Amino acid sequence: MVAPHVSLGEVARSMVRGAAGAVLDAEQAALADEPDGLHALRTRVRRLRSILSLLRDHLDDRRSQRLRVPLREWGSQLGTVRDAEVLAAEAASALAAAGIDDDAMRRRLVEEPLADYARLHARLVALSEQPRAKERMRELHAFAADPPLVGVDADATGALTAVLRREARRVRKAAKRLDGSMERLHDVRKAGRRLRYAAEAIGEAGPATLTDAAAAAAKAGSRLHDVLGDHRDAVVLAARLERSRVRAARAGEATEGYDRLIAAATARAMRRRGQLDRALRRVRDASKMLD
């Protein structure tokens, strides 16, 4: 924990180094396809991107841009692979929860996305050997070793309080734009994720005066992100089950199991959507600690 009243520069350096180092530490486990390795790397890349965005005004723009662009590309690559992994896991859990033991359903819902995952993961490993990826890792190492900070003589407490307030406002503004669409819900989810990552990083590296407020903001952002993430997973699963049901019917396979799973996924999505208002209130309550 950094002592109170230090400069923003000291705290920002710790935040960037910690986030960049976490990405570097996670890469090999993801490429080796270790349990939860890909998920951990994707999460850490997202966290680093969020921190670079939060500190945008205090980082050399030219150097940070050289890292932001490849990180965005990398995040997209990781997301494509992770989506296939999640599809298989969600379907397997749904089948187990419903007590369904059907070889044809398992083939369509679990084995096919697992085959996609294996193919996409192999492509990810191949991409990691390309010159572009090697340059990305060299830039990341250099960035972690010496973050290119500028204009960071301000007091850390005031500057980071302003960051947390801004991220909490981002959540509220996104919530005001809700119109029932998945796109707007995703905007709220992303804002919650940004708040969570900002608060976690500030709680780990920032002054002790912000410890309690950062912890509350991190919990509120995490809850919001989890509620909407589970809602999205359930909606995506239901849509995929609908498509698989059509394919199964065309192949002359039984479809009763699909109907049960679709109903369960739809109910889960509705339960999670019903928890949104409470999650947003937690963000509002946490932001009051920053006044």
The reported pLDDT for the residue numbered 2 is 45
Rg, Å, the chain Cα set: 21
* Residue 78 placed within a domain: yes
- Residue 149 · residue 59 · CB < 8 Å: yes
Higher pLDDT, 7 or 224: 224
Q: Is 99 left (phi over 0), alpha (psi -120 to 50) or beta?
A: left
pLDDT over 60 (residue 198): yes
- Section 248-257 average pLDDT: 96
* Residue 54 placed within a domain: yes
The encoded tokens of residue 1 equal 């924990």
Residue 5: pLDDT band by 50, 70, 90 thresholds? low
Crossing angle of the two packed helices 256-274 and 211-250, in degrees rounded to 10: 160
Q: pTM for the whole thing?
A: 0.90
Residue 46: give its domain's CATH number.
1.40.20.10
**How does pLDDT run across 58-108, given as a tens digit for each residue?**
888 888 888 999 999 999 999 999 999 999 999 999 999 999 999 999 999
Higher pLDDT, 123 or 208: 123
Q: Domain range holding 124?
A: 8-145+155-288
Give the separation between CA 134 and CA 132, rounded to whole angstroms: 5
* Residue 3 placed within a domain: no
pLDDT over 60 (residue 1): no
* Residue 150 placed within a domain: no
Give the separation between CA 89 and CA 257, rounded to whole angstroms: 17
Q: What percent of the chain has pLDDT over 90?
A: 84
* Residue 74 placed within a domain: yes
* Residue 2 placed within a domain: no
* Residue 1 placed within a domain: no
Average pLDDT, the chain: 94
Give the separation between CA 44 and CA 50, rounded to whole angstroms: 10
Q: What percent of the chain has pLDDT over 70?
A: 98
pLDDT over 50 (residue 174): yes
Crossing angle of the two packed helices 112-128 and 8-31, in degrees rounded to 10: 120
* Residue 274 placed within a domain: yes
Give the count of domains, the chain. Answer: 1
